[in-house]
Amino acid sequence: MSPIQLQGLSAVAEDFDAFALDQYGVLHNGTELYPAVLDCLAALREAGKRVFILSNSGKRKEPNTARLAGLGIAPDLYEDFVTSGEVTRAFLNEQPDALRSGGDKAGPLRCLPLGGKAERALLEGLNVELVESVAEADFMLLASFGDSPPSLETFLEILTEAGNKGLTLVCANPDVTGITAEGLHPAPGALAASYEEAGGSVIYVGKPHPLVYRSILEAVSPIPARRVLAVGDSLAHDIVGAAGAGLSSALILQGIHRDDLGSPATTPDFKSRLAALTRRYGAQPDFLLHGLTW
């Protein structure tokens, strides 16, 4: 069955009790809100729907909440902001022995951060020691490239050494590309995938992996997963992840896939393009939306 094209969420609002909304590509482009987003969030609140922001941001909840507030989205327009960074922090707080490079299970885990401020913020207050070299590390952590993504080749020497030592890379943002006002740019998931392809061990936290969805499903219980609509712009992350967690899904067409798909109204082969992409990623959305509108 082909996805149903919607003019807005109002057409299916009665079918869902909760909404899990991606941020980049759905709410904003990193610089400004998309049109009609505020009206849609207000309408969801007025309709009594439970709204969660679900993001592969490797940063903690607070800076993401602050970013949305700065763009004009007040915290009272959604129930919670679930980031892969926050879920990663909870994971690392459990001190998983699988991350230790040696047999000694005493003392703090030793982490080599590959980014900057985001990684340090995730680890603050945890029993994890920051180190500066692969030789000292039990594992590596990558959460964010910041506002100016470096070339992936920058990390080649470190990742080669880490692979030889058998270090695990914990990736707190599985996105391969990110969306900005200037266009697409490499995201941490691209580096993690490169390390994995070379034989390295990677633990991904974020969409499409299950930990982030568990947070929302536990929060809305006993609402069944099918009564939660995940809205995102990435087939590989939002739509595949929703399918794996049993959620319904809607694909935003103005986001990451806008150049691949075009518009149903102006692209003659839109249906065949969409079919090819859904075959490629092995998941199909239930609905299509140009943008987040009510």
List domains and CATH numbers for the chain: 4-56+208-289 (3.40.50.1000), 92-204 (3.40.50.1000)
Nearest to 130 by CA among 150, 115, 151: 115
Coil, helix or strand for 137?
coil
More confident residue, 28 or 185: 28
CA distance 231 to 233: 7
Whether 238 shows a pLDDT value over 90: the answer reads yes
| Class of residue 148 by CB neighbours under 10 A (exposed 0-12, middle 13-18, buried 19+) | exposed
What is the per-residue pLDDT for 117? 85
CA distance 167 to 109: 12
Q: Which residues contact 171 (CB under 8 A, 6 or more apart)?
A: 142, 188, 189, 191, 192, 202, 203, 204, 205, 206
The predicted-structure confidence for 112-159, as pLDDT tens digits, reads as follows 999 878 899 999 999 999 999 999 999 999 998 876 667 778 888 999
What is the per-residue pLDDT for 96? 75
Whether 35 shows a pLDDT value over 80: the answer reads yes
Residue 47 confidence class, pLDDT cut points 50, 70, 90: very high
- Please state the pTM of the whole predicted model: 0.85
Joined together, the tokens standing for residue 9 give: 């969420």
Whether 87 shows a pLDDT value over 60: the answer reads yes
